[in-house]
Amino acid sequence: MIATRPFELDDARRLVTAPALRDSKYTRGVTLLATGSEEYPGAAVLSCAGALAGGAGFMRYLGPETPTSLVLSRLPEVVVGGGRADAAVIGSGIGSARDDARATELRELVEMDLPTVVDAGALELIADTTPKSCILTPHESELDKLGEQLGLGTISTQKSGRRRTRTVRGKQARSVAEHTGQIVLIKGAATRIVTPGAETAHLIEAPSHWAATAGTGDVLAGMIGAFLAGAAARSSMPLTNEEMAWQASLGAWVHAWAAWTAARRASGDHITAEEVLDAMSHPAMAAGFMGPIRASDLARAVPTVLAATLAEA
Separation CA 25–CA 85 (nearest Å): 12
* Nearest C-alpha neighbor of 7 from the set 219, 140, 15, 232: 15
Annotated binding-site residue? 268: no
Annotated binding-site residue? 188: yes
* Nearest C-alpha neighbor of 169 from the set 186, 152, 146, 189: 186
Annotated binding-site residue? 218: yes
Annotated binding-site residue? 139: yes
Annotated binding-site residue? 120: no
Spatial CB neighbours of 2, under 8 Å, sequence gap ≥ 6:
167, 170, 171, 174, 192, 194, 201
Separation CA 268–CA 291 (nearest Å): 9
Q: What is the DSSP string of 61-120?
A: E---HHHHHHHHHH-TTPEES----SEEEE-TT-S-GGGSTTHHHHHHHHHSSS-EEE-G
Annotated binding-site residue? 217: yes
* Nearest C-alpha neighbor of 177 from the set 118, 234, 228, 226: 118
3-state secondary structure of 288: coil
Annotated binding-site residue? 187: yes
Annotated binding-site residue? 43: yes
Looking only at the bridges linking them, the beta strands covering 190-194 and 183-186 are antiparallel
Q: Residue positions in the annotated binding site?
A: 43, 93, 139, 187-191, 217-218
Residue numbers in the known binding site for (6S)-NADPHX are 43, 93, 139, 218
Binding residues for AMP: 187-191, 217
